[in-house]
Structure 1
């Protein structure tokens, strides 16, 4: 099982934010779209990622004034990414080890998708259900 299959099922539509906007603009986008993180781009090139946790941490440390700041003050600039060919197991291990919930998918250096921990869990649950059904069918036919 690979990342490409997840993208094929959920679609490649990526909600991204262009660099140079404010923290308030990102907070509104996160709330309106009910998502946990947004990749930050310059054109199609990934330059960072900002999550609701980043926004909350910024508010806790610097107060409401942080909302007027450029997102570059809070975003993670060194982003862990994957490709469509990466396995779901590899992605799960990376997300667990790095304690991250959202991973942008790159192809030829361009942003083509976004995978969340929820996407990974859903995929693993479907795999487990398929394996259980196959085992039941095997046992019943024996």
Structure 2
């Protein structure tokens, strides 16, 4: 099973913001769409990083009075962990675990084509295990 399977189910919509936006802009977007991370783009549209709730909370811990006015580029994660549509789900799980990330942009040929979260991956794995269990029950009873 590959990332494409998740994208077919959840869709390919990805919320993005520019590096020059503020953390207040990011918080508003995260709240409006009930999401945990936003992909960050440069002025020319390239994906340059990701900003998660965790990044914002860590910044709040360092500079609580000025955090919301900060530019996104100052506290986003630039060391991006990404995948492609053809990446196996097991590889995504391993990368997320090893790098301790919960959101992974799907990038192909330098173009953002989707995003998957740890919740998406877990949901897909549970569905796969349930299907396998049902197939085994049918095999045994048939």
Name the TM-score, length of structure 1 as normaliser. 0.96
Tell me what 1:74 maps to.
Answer: 75
CA distance in 2, matches of 1:9, 1:126: 12
Question: Cα distance, 1:19 vs. partner?
Answer: 2.1
How far does residue 32 in structure 1 lie from its aligned partner after superposition? 1.3
Post-superposition CA distance 1:30-70 (Å, at most 9, x none): 11111111010134421010001111111111113111110
1:81 is paired with a residue whose SS is: coil
Name segments (4+ residues, structure 1) moved above 4 Å: none
> Could you tell me which residue of structure 2 aligns to residue 37 of structure 1?
37
Q: CA RMSD in A?
A: 0.9
Any idea what the Cα deviations from partners look like across 1:78-127, whole Å, max 9, x if unmatched? 10100000000000011111111000000111111010000000000000
Q: Distance in 1 between matches of 2:65 and 2:138?
A: 58
Structure 1 counterpart of 2:21: 21
Find the counterpart in structure 2 of residue 140 from structure 1. Answer: 141
The residue that corresponds to 1:125 in the other structure is: 126
Distance 1:16 1:99 in 2: 21
C-alpha separation in 2, matches of 1:107 and 1:67: 32
Secondary structure of 2:48's partner?
Answer: strand
Unaligned segments of structure 2, at least 5 residues: none
CA distance in 2, matches of 1:83, 1:77: 18
